[in-house]
A and B are shown apart, each in its own frame.
Chain A
Amino acid sequence: MTAYIVRRILYAIPILLGVNILTFALFFVVNSPDDMARVHLGVKRVTPEAIDNWKSEHGYDRPLLFNSKEAGLEKITDTIFFQHSARLFVFDFGQSDDGRDIGYDISQRMWASLAIALPTFIVGVLINITFALLLAFFRGSLFDISGVILCVILMSISGLFYIIGGQYLLSKLWHLVPISGYDSGVNALKFLVLPVIIGVIGGIGAGTRLYRTFYLEEINKDYVRTARAKGLSELQVLFRHVLKNAMIPILTGVVVVIPLLFIGSLIMESFFGIPGLGSYTIDAINSQDFAIVRAMVFLGSVLYILGLVLTDISYTLVDPRVRLN
C-alpha cells in the first residue's frame, strides 16, 4: 500500500510537469510576453518603453527557457519557465499580475469555497443514492418510469436556470434568503442555504439516473439470484447485497471530486458573490490575470491527481478483491 502510494506520487511528477509545459506553451509561446503587455496596457498607451516596464515589473523580461547571459545554474533558473512555471512545484504561486500574493489569496479563499461545495456534495450524493435506490426498488413500475423521465427533464435544464430561477423565487419573490453575499462564521449560514439547495437540485437528474443504472446492473447478477434463492426479502437483497456492490462504481465518480471541492464552483460563486476560489478564478479570467489562471490550473491538477489516489485507496475499503500493489 505504501509502495503503491509512493509510486502514484512519483507518477504524478511527470504529469504535473506536462501540465506546466502545456500552460507555459499556452501563455508564453502562443503569445509573447509583449502581446500580453499590450493587452494589459490597452492598445492606445502602448509604447516600447511601457511594454518593457510592464514586463520587468512582472518578471516577464527574462528569456523563456534558457538564459545565455547568466552563469552556471542561473542559465536555467533565471528564465520565465523556471520562475513562473517550475516554481509551482513547491507551491510557490508567486504574485498575480496586479501584485497580490496568490498563495495567500488561495489560503484565505478556499474555506468559503469549501463551505458551499462540501455540503452540496454530501447532501447531493446522499439524496441521489436514496432516490436511485427507491427507483431501483420499484423498477419497471410507473413510479420508476416517471422518475426516470423526470430525471431526464431535470438534467436537460441549464444549470444557469436553476440559479437564476432559485434566486428569483427564494430571494426576490419570497425574500427568504439574501440574494447573494457572504459573511464569516455562523452568519454565513443564511448565505449558504440557497446555493446548496440549487447545487443539489441541479445534480439530482444526472446523479439519480446514473446510480439507478448501477443498481440495475448489479440486480441482474447471479449472486442476487443466489440471495433470493436463500429466502431473503427484496429489501434485504437490496440493502445487504446490491447496495454494497453498487457502491464500488459510485465511489469511482464520487471520491475523485472530493479534493476538487476546495476549488469550488465557478458559476455558483460568481452568481452568489461567494469570495471563494471559483469567483477568484472568474475574476482572474475577466481581468486576464494569467498568473492566477496558471496557479489555479496547477492547483486543479494536483487536486485531481490526489482525487485519483484517494479513489484507488477507497477501493480497497469497499472491494476486498482490490489489493494495491
Chain B
Amino acid sequence: MSYLPHILITDALIYFLLVLVVGFAVYASRHEHLRAPWRQVFNRPLAVAALMVLSVYISIGLADSVHLRERISDTGADRADMEAQYSHQVISLLDIFLGSLRQHSEKTYSMPFATHAFSMETVIGQDGSVRREHPRLLYGGAHLKDISKRGQDIAVKTVTGILVGLIAWLLFAVLIIKVVAVRTHMAAGALWLRIKRGDTRFPWRSALSTGAVISAIVSALIVLSGNYHVLGTDQVGNDVLYKSLKSIRTGLLIGTLTTLVMLPFAVSLGIMAGYLRGWVDDVIQYTYTTLSSIPGVLLIAAAILSLQVYMTANPEQFTTVAERSDMRLLFLCIILGGTSWTGLCRLMRGETLKLREVDYIQAAVALGVPTRKIMLRHIFPNVMHIVLISVVLDFSGLVLAEAVLSYVGVGVDPAMDSWGNMINGARLEMAREPMVWWSLSAAFVFMFGLVLSANLFSDAVRDAFDPRLRKR
C-alpha cells in the first residue's frame, strides 16, 4: 500500500520544535556552563527514570505526528496517465502501528477484558424468541471458544508478554553494558557489579530497571491487546487504550507548542523592557499588566468563544475535520500562550533590570558595544536558565489545564482525541449503575504518568540550573 504524506500545521511546528531541541542539545554539549548542569540532571536516578517514561510518551506523540493519506486501490491505479486517488481520511504512523486496535471497534461500552457488551440488548433468537442479553463482542475475546477459560487465557498472555518484554530488554541491556564497558575501559563483569550496587556516575541501575518495567508493560499490552480491549471500549465502541494513546499527542502539543508560541514574545519583550527602560518599558509593562489582570480561564473562554463563532461563521475555510480540529488546537495553544507569557515576561524584565547594572554589562557599554549586541550576547545567555526552568515547570501545568478547559467546553475540538474529552465524555455516565469507570481511569492514569514524570524531571532541571539552589 502506498501513502501520501500530509503535514498538518501542528506537525510542522512539532518538527520545528524538534529541530530546535536537537540544535540546543548540540549547542549545550559544546558549552561547559550548560553541560555541567545537564550532567547533574542526568546523575539523578529519579530524573533519569522520569526521562525514560517521558521518552516513551514523546515517541508515541512523534509517531502520531507523521500524518499520511492512504492510497485508495482502485482499478485504474496502475495506469500511468491517471492520477492516484488518495483517501480523505488522514491517518498517522501511530495508527498504522496500532492497526488492529484502531479498527476493532465494538458497538458501545464494554468493560476491560470483557467478552460481552456492557449493556443489554434485545436479541431475537433463532427460534424467534426475544431475549435481552449482553451480546458477545465482535473482537474482545472473540478467539475464545470457551468463555470460562478467559481468566486463564489472560494470565498466560500476560505472563508471556512480560517475559518476552523482559528478555528483549535483557538482550538490549547486555548490549549496552558491553558498549559502555568498552568505552570506559572496564571489564563488563566489573561494570555489572558496580551497576548492581548503584555505584556508577550515571544512574545505570535505575535507568535499566525503569527500562525493564516499561518494556514488560509495553510487551504485555501488545500481546493482550490483540485479543482483548485491555481498557475496555467507550460509548461508540472505540478501544479506550487506542484513544488514550492518541490523546498523548494532544497533551504533549499543548504543553510544548504553547511555550514555543509565547517564548519569543516573553523573552524579547521582557529583556527589552528591562534593558531599554523608558517608554518601551512603560508600554510593555502596561500590556502585560492588562493581560494578566484578566483571570486566565475567563480570557481563554472569551477567546475560544469568539473563535468558535468565527469558525461557525466561516465554515468554508476549514475543509476536513482533521484540519478543523488541528486549527482549533493551534489556536488553543496560541491563546494559552497569550495568557501565560506575562509571568515569564515579568521575570525576564526583573532579571534584566538586575543584570543591566552588573559590571560586565557596564564594561560592555564602556567599550561601545551596540545595545542590540549587549542584549543578545550578554543578557540573553544569562537569563536562559530562567527560561529553561519556567518552560519545564509550565509543561505539566499546561497538560493538566487541557483537561480542565476541555471540561469547561473551551478546550480542544470535541472531535479530537484528548484526555480532557475522555473525562468529559465519561462524566456523563457517572450516574450509571454500575459505573462506567474505565475510560475515566485510563485518562487519569495516562495523564498522571506524563505529568508526574514531567514534574520529577523538571524538579531536577530546576535544581541544577537555579543558581540560588545550587549554592546549598
Contact = CB atoms under 8 A, between A and B. Distances in A.
Direct contact of A and B (CB under 8 A): yes
Main secondary structure, interface of B, reads helix
A168 interface: yes
A224 to B, nearest CB: 13
Given A31-B306, A38-B313, A304-B295, A160 B407 contact: yes
A313 B308 CA distance: 41
Main secondary structure, interface of A, reads helix
Contact of A260 (B295, B310, B312, B403): B295
A294 B302 CA distance: 8
Interface residues of B, number: 45
Contacts of A158: 400, 403-404, 423, 444, 447-448, 451
Interface residues of A, number: 50
A77 interface: no
Contacts of A167: 430
Contacts of A27: 302, 306
Nearest to B454: A156
B412 to A, nearest CB: 15
A293 B403 contact: no
Nearest to A206: B397
Interface in A61-100: none
B269 interface: no
A267 B404 contact: yes
Interface string B297-313: 11101110110111011
A286 B301 contact: no
Interface stretch (B177-185, B195-203, B258-266, B286-294): B286-294
B244 interface: no
A159 interface: yes
A23, A167, A216: which has the most chain B beta carbons within 10 Å?
A23
Contacts of A281: 298, 301
Contact of B427 (A22, A164, A304): A164
A315 to B, nearest CB: 17
Contacts of B430: 164, 167-168
Contacts of A159: 400, 404
Contact of B309 (A23, A36, A168): A36
Contact of B313 (A14, A31, A216, A260): A31
Interface of A: 14-15, 18-19, 22-23, 26-27, 30-31, 35-36, 38-39, 43, 152-153, 155-161, 164, 167-168, 172, 216-217, 220, 260, 263, 266-267, 270, 281-282, 285-286, 288, 290, 293-294, 296-297, 300-301, 304-305
Interface of B: 286-287, 289-295, 297-299, 301-303, 305-306, 308-310, 312-313, 396, 400, 403-404, 407-410, 423, 427, 430, 435, 440, 444, 447-448, 451-452, 455-456, 459, 468, 472
Given A43-B312, A152-B455, A282-B409, 11 more contacts: A15-B286, A15-B293, A19-B290, A30-B306, A31-B313, A35-B312, A38-B313, A152-B456, A164-B427, A281-B301, A300-B295
11 contacts: A15-B286, A18-B287, A157-B444, A164-B440, A267-B408, A270-B408, A285-B410, A293-B302, A301-B295, A304-B293, A305-B293
